[in-house]
């Protein structure tokens, strides 16, 4: 149940078309649904503005399909499944009565249409190298599925800084920037020193031995001397895309428009 549906319920009580007792029954059955192997948080959208998103890794196709079906049955128009392999996506699709759009590089499955952007502005997703693109696509597709316009700037790392400087127009016009890099993770600090919007650093596990699976990039970003840089966990493109969407929708939320 989202905010508009809750408001409609309250208006029905006020108009007399719905009794308080029936409304209470509806609300009491809404908070979560126990599927045995999962408990769906149907009030997530009411509390946070975004419905529950399924983490696909570690779940069987039967479990993912069961959760998706339960969400659709409750009227959810769009369902996201992150960290979903291509094989699992195919198996999940065979168990659903509705189409699943699979984004291979992002490893994300989307049931329902990608919405038109309704955020304040644009989210820029920038990567240090081509090897960072899977994490970047997870961030970008997540943000797009949450109603944001995304600009992709890939392979603009500090080893060739002129590549980044050539796209200052896109960076300066962003409402939020997601800076994704492995190795030494310097991209977040460089971008943080150029723009006037929040920068979300995403360290990746890309790099040679001393990168320690992304720990070096994580510590570099955490120690950034540029103001306005925040950091999510290693390879967490989803978390960065979600947070950037929250930033890009703040005015809408505060004004009650979305």
Domain boundaries, the chain: 31-111, 122-251
Q: What pLDDT is attached to residue 50?
A: 79
Distance CA 257, CA 16 (A): 27
Model confidence over 226-256: pLDDT tens digits?
999 999 999 999 999 999 999 999 875 555 5
Distance CA 83, CA 140 (A): 14
Q: What pLDDT is attached to residue 124?
A: 98
* 206 CB-near residues (< 8 Å, 6+ apart): 129, 131, 132, 181, 182, 183, 214
Residues of the chain whose pLDDT is less than 70?
1-6, 9, 23-37, 39-40, 43, 46, 252-258
Q: What pLDDT is attached to residue 73?
A: 81
Q: What pLDDT is attached to residue 189?
A: 95
DSSP SS3 for 204:
coil
Q: What pLDDT is attached to residue 258?
A: 47
The answer to whether 68 touches 96, Cβ cutoff 8 Å, is: yes
DSSP SS3 for 242:
helix
Residue 178 region, left (φ>0) first, then alpha (ψ -120 to 50), else beta? beta
Distance CA 39, CA 35 (A): 6
Question: What number of other Cβ atoms are within 10 A of residue 29's Cβ?
Answer: 11
DSSP state of 113: P
Q: What pLDDT is attached to residue 71?
A: 85
| Contacts of range 249-254, beta carbons closer than 8 Å, 24 or more positions apart | 249/49, 249/118, 249/119, 249/120, 249/147, 249/148, 250/120, 251/120, 252/118, 252/119, 252/120, 253/49
Q: Which CATH architecture has domain 122-251?
A: 3-Layer(aba) Sandwich (3.40)
């Amino acid at each position: 149940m989202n905010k508009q549906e809750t408001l409609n319920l309250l208006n029905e009580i006020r108009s007399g078309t719905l009794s308080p007792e029936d409304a209470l029954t509806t609300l009491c059955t809404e908070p979560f649904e126990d599927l045995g192997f999962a408990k769906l948080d149907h009030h997530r959208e009411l509390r946070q503005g975004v419905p529950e998103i399924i983490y696909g890794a570690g779940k069987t196709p039967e479990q993912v399909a069961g959760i998706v079906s339960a969400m659709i049955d409750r009227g959810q128009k769009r369902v996201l499944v992150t960290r979903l392999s291509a094989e699992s996506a195919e198996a999940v699709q065979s168990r659903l009565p509705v189409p699943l759009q699979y984004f291979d590089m992002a490893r994300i499955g989307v049931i329902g249409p990608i919405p038109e952007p309704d955020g304040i502005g644009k989210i820029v997703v920038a990567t240090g190298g081509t090897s960072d693109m899977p994490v970047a696509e997870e961030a970008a597709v997540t943000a797009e599925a949450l109603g944001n316009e995304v600009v992709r700037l890939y392979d603009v790392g500090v080893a060739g800084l002129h590549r980044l400087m050539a796209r200052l127009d896109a960076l300066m016009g962003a409402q939020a920037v997601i800076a994704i890099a492995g190795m030494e993770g310097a991209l977040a600090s460089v971008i943080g020193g150029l723009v006037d919007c929040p920068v979300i650093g995403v360290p990746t596990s890309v790099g040679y031995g001393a990168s320690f699976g992304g720990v070096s990039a994580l510590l570099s970003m955490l120690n950034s001397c540029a103001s306005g840089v925040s950091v999510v966990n290693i390879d967490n493109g989803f978390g960065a895309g979600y947070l950037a969407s929250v930033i890009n929708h703040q005015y809408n939320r505060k004004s009650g428009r979305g």
